[in-house]
Amino acid sequence: MATAVPLVLLILVGSMRAMKPTLLLLSVLPYSLMERLRENFDCYQQSQLDEKQAIALTPTVRGIVATGESSVTREQIARLPALEIISVLGVGYDGIDLEAAREHNVRVTHTPGLSTEDIADFAMALLLCAARQVLTADRFIRSGGWTTGRHPMTARVFGGRIGIVGLGRIGRAVALRAQAFGMSIAYTGRTPKADVPYRWCNDVQALAASVDYLVVCASGGAGTHGMINETVLAELGPCGVLVNIARGSIVDEHALVEALRDRRILAAGLDVFCDEPRVSQALRELPNVVLTPHMASTTEATVQAMLDLAFDNLATHFSGRPVLTQVN
């Protein structure tokens, strides 16, 4: 005969379940992270809530799990009176209204530093692929072109001049790799760095005019929106290559399409776009641009480390301890 469960234990278990903080998940997350979150929190997928369910949930939401592509507006934050933390799975958090989060005493955390080396590797891969025309050479062979002649010559990378827009963690990692290619290195950003030997340019236009390869590593946001515009591309010139592994919003895509189409720059390598995951037909039709689906940071090792840190930020916060990767 089964032993009856004491009433007091049932009450205790129910109380413990009720004490689980409520999380609102803004994106579909990897299964391994979802399992850990559900074990420790009451989780609700925003896309699966109807209007009534969403309204009923608003007084109880204590945490939000977002990605680098998520948007959390001032209005959303104001509607969640119990909100304490927004844990971003990713480095970028320009879709989060940090000012509103500060005003409502909401922590915002992210997962920085873990993907630096992978992103820097990928920046160089895009640079090489675009400059050396790897994709067009691949298509050249597949179409039988090699049987009738040689592929056209391409640009040399070794010993070239590279300009880095934003010399933060990723920009510095790109510079380290550029050194191995014997490249001269220049950069621009908010302020010159006293601890590097690279040449400083006080604006991106001057930087573009003095380099062969322009690699965008800057943060997104209003301060850099549309920074790589028609004028900058004109300064980069017909032998120049643009690489963007930062944020799609930093590059004026219309101006870039026109510059590539008219051969006012040689080529581009893009891992980020203005309206991800939708990439304009105009970009997709161009032969002199390499397009990848925002994958620079997505190696197995990095993604697992990011999942762990996003979870740890939540667990640490709700245990009452200070988190290490708070951004506001």
Whether 276 is a known active-site residue: answer yes
Cβ partners under 8 Å of residue 25, min gap 6? 37, 43, 44, 45, 46, 64, 65
Task: Verify whether residue 294 is a known catalytic residue.
Answer: yes
- 247 included as an active-site residue: yes
SS3 at position 199: strand
Catalytic residue among 172, 247, 253, 317: 247
Helical (H) or strand (E) element with 125 = helix 116-131
Instruction: Report CA dihedral (163, 165, 171, 177) to the nearest 10 degrees.
Output: -20
CB contact at 8 A, 88 and 310: yes
Instruction: Map tokens 């340019």 to a residue.
Output: 201
d(CA 302, CA 191): 29
3-state secondary structure of 184: strand
Q: Nearest CA to 205 among 229, 178, 240, 175?
A: 229
Choice among 276, 278, 285, 300 that is catalytic: 276
Return all residues near 318 (Cβ < 8 A) that are at least 6 apart: 21, 62, 63, 84, 85
Which residues form the catalytic set?
247, 276, 294
